Amino acid sequence: MTKFLKRGYDYFRNWSATGKYKNETDPETAQKPNYWLHAILLFSTFITLSISGLYRLNLIGPDIPFDISMFFMGFPYSVSLLAILGCHEFGHYFAAVYHRIKTSLPYFLPAPPILLLFYVGTFGAVIRLHEAIKNRRQLVDIGAYGPIAGFAVAILVLIIGAVTLPPIEYIYTIHANYRFLHEIPDTGAYVNGDALFFGKNIIFHLLTTYILPYKIPMSEIYHYPLLLAGWIGLFITALNLLPFGQLDGGHILYAVAGKRIHLFISWSIAIVCLLAGLLGYAHLFFPESGIPKIWAGWLIWGLVLLFIIKPWHPPVIENGNLNKRRIVLAWISLFIFVLCFTPIPFDLQ
């Protein structure tokens, strides 16, 4: 979700006060790729993702000693999520290469094992464009092909996860008391301590209702590495497709609707996130007040949108019309956003 932050800085840095892009070569960004840096970051992210996968399988934790011989058990989660993130970034990369725009290889961002309950294992991945996006057609292609590629791989991961789902006895090895119930409970009432619930989007509603061979509550999804990797992939896709600033969805919106509508919708998205987050915190502190339950994290995300990503978008150099293929790409991106968006992505009970 942070892939365009540094790239946006480079872009704005060469955007003059007159509104024209200064076509200058930056020696820092024009240098040859540092393949060692890319490789080290990729390997480090693989390690931190594998650690997260082990934690979700209850194979590592504050009271569970680390067994190096079990490290490979974290690979299904780490490989799956790396594939989703990598294809997302390479979707942007190859779209930029197709339009002959200089760009970096993806930088994968490892995350240290802190806040274990919410530990994903990565901060995502980023690329850097070293040149300006010249027209609206390029803007749609570069903005859309990343999330479309990541979404396709996330769906593939979920399909593999559903086909290879272990029998229901697997969850009994983690929660032995479930064996004596008619079905796995929807709530965390039978879990020792807090239960982390992952919110349902349209795809996961269809998956858990009609496709999986037995009922898996969203509080137990993290015990299934491929399902969890797929869920995170869909969540990242939705965040990137928010029609805001220089996020993927913001690029597409700017290309389709222009500067004024883009700025209006960007500010509207940020305000809605802030208000939703405030309502979420109000519900946490006053649960009996009748305030609807909303994810309080939208407040943090709203602040990130306003003060880090920012609602503005640099202009394109040429204003050509979009052809039908680009319009279709924009509609496909919107459809994917609707499928992936989760109003309450996380809940702790």
SS (H, E, C) 126-192: ECCECCCCCCHHHHHHHHHHHHHHHHHHHHHHHHHHHHCCCCCHHHHCCCHHHHHCCCCCCCCCCCC
pLDDT at 115 (0 to 100): 64
- Nearest alpha carbon to residue 264 among 249, 240, 243: 243
As a whole number, mean pLDDT of residues 3-22 equals 37
What residues contact 116, with CB distance under 8 A and at least 6 apart? 55, 61, 62
- Give me the torsion for CA of 180, 184, 189, 190, rounded to 10°: 40
Rounded Cα distance between 50 and 160, Å, is 19
- Please say if the pLDDT value at position 339 is more than 60: yes
pLDDT at 178 (0 to 100): 81
* Mean pLDDT (the chain, rounded): 86
AA identity, residue 253: L
As a whole number, mean pLDDT of residues 337-348 equals 92
pLDDT at 19 (0 to 100): 34
pLDDT at 25 (0 to 100): 43
> Which is higher by pLDDT, 58 or 28?
58
Segments making up each domain of the chain, as ranges: 5-16+30-240+317-348
Q: pLDDT tens, 147-164? A: 999 999 999 999 999 999
30 band by pLDDT with thresholds 50, 70 and 90: low
pLDDT at 180 (0 to 100): 81
- Please say if the pLDDT value at position 43 is more than 50: yes
Q: Which region, left, alpha or beta, applies to residue 167 given φ > 0 means left and ψ of -120 to 50 means alpha?
A: beta
| Bridge partner residues of 348 (DSSP) | 196
When mean pLDDT is compared across 29-43, 112-126, 181-195, the lowest value belongs to 181-195
- Please say if the pLDDT value at position 278 is more than 50: yes
Q: pLDDT tens, 173-227? A: 887 888 887 777 776 544 445 677 899 999 999 999 999 998 888 888 988 999 9
As a whole number, mean pLDDT of residues 310-332 equals 92
